[in-house]
Amino acid sequence: MANKVIVSTKLEYEDALEFGIDKRKLVVIPVGVDSNAFQQERCYSDSSPLKLLFVGRLARNRNVEVLIETAAQMQNVHLTIVGGEGRTSSTSKLGYVNELMGLARSLNAEGKVFFAGPKYGEQLKRFYLESDLFLYPSSYENFGQPILEAATFGLPIISTRVGVALDIVIPGETGFLTNLNREEIMRHIKSLEPAKVRKEFGIKIRNLVEKNYQWTNIIDQYIQVYREL
């Protein structure tokens, strides 16, 4: 029987309680980020169009169609979708990426929506640095690493109430938590259009991540758990 159970987010903590794990055994220690990311400088500009970014496996539970539909209704936005086809289970139907591309065509949004495919390393970093806002409309995530990565690069975040978003998205300060509602997402995007606002949000969320999610701090927390056993 385990003496301690480590979870990575407040959401996982609540899930663990529902599964019957004694809260006295639970410890929240998040996934960390590379401290070198904090050395990357970004530019906050009022130039048009506003660059929206999604990063993640393209599985149906990610609800990326909501972002395409939102972008299609807006002026002066450009949505980049980074990621390849993914499946949440062996029974999940394939073809989601093709469906998303077809949706963009049917909405005449091909000029606003760019499918970049999977990106890693330095290529992925450039997408984070060259975007203005990060959008993540997933139905469920244990953690949601792309959310944390985006915050590390100073991107304000508009996300559903999943994973690490519940820990780092402070509504009205570092981003917004949203439902799967196009009008609501659109309102949040418009409120973050001014570069001054995006810079304020971006600095706050980057400082929050730098304080709480560097690997050196994470390792210290794990060491402390073992010392207390």
Q: Mean per-residue pLDDT for 59-68?
A: 96
Taking Cα atoms as reference points, which of 78, 77, 52, 82 lies closest to residue 159? 52
User: How confident is the model at residue 39, as a pLDDT?
Assistant: 64
Q: Residue 46: which pLDDT band, with cuts at 50, 70 and 90?
A: confident
Percent of the chain clearing pLDDT 90 (strictly above): 82
Q: Is 47 strand, coil or helix? A: coil
Q: Is the pLDDT of residue 88 over 70?
A: no
Max Cα distance, the chain (Å): 59
Q: Is the pLDDT of residue 14 over 90?
A: yes
Q: Which of 40-49, 78-87, 143-152, 160-169 has the lowest mean pLDDT?
A: 40-49
Q: Is the pLDDT of residue 147 over 70?
A: yes
Q: Which of 38-52, 93-107, 166-180, 211-225 has the lowest mean pLDDT?
A: 38-52
User: Quick one: which H or E segment has residue 79?
Assistant: strand 77-82
Of 81 and 42, more confident:
81
CA distance 30 to 61: 23
CA distance 80 to 131: 9
Contact status, residue 53 vs residue 129, Cβ threshold 8 Å: no
Whether residue 49 has a cis bond before it, omega within 30° of 0: yes
Q: Residue 49: which pLDDT band, with cuts at 50, 70 and 90?
A: very high
CA distance 192 to 202: 10
β-strand partners of 159: 136, 177
DSSP 33: B
DSSP helix, strand, coil percent of the chain (3-state; round to 5):
45, 15, 40
pTM: 0.93
User: How confident is the model at residue 44, as a pLDDT?
Assistant: 83
Q: Mean per-residue pLDDT for 188-215?
A: 95
Q: Residue 1: which pLDDT band, with cuts at 50, 70 and 90?
A: confident
All structural domains of the chain, each given as residue ranges with its CATH number in brackets, are 5-32+214-227 (no CATH), 37-212 (3.40.50.2000)
Q: How far is CA 15 from each of CA 12, 23, 24, 89, rounded to the nearest angstrom?
A: 5, 11, 15, 20
Q: Is 183 strand, coil or helix? A: helix
Specify burial of residue 85 (Cβ count, 10 A radius: 0-12, 13-18, 19+): middle
pLDDT digits (tens, 9 = 90+) for 91-123: 567 899 999 999 999 999 999 999 999 999 989
User: How confident is the model at residue 89, as a pLDDT?
Assistant: 59
Q: Residue 131: which pLDDT band, with cuts at 50, 70 and 90?
A: very high
User: Quick one: which H or E segment has residue 116?
Assistant: strand 113-117
Strand 175-177 and strand 157-159: the pairing is: parallel
Q: Residue 175: which pLDDT band, with cuts at 50, 70 and 90?
A: very high
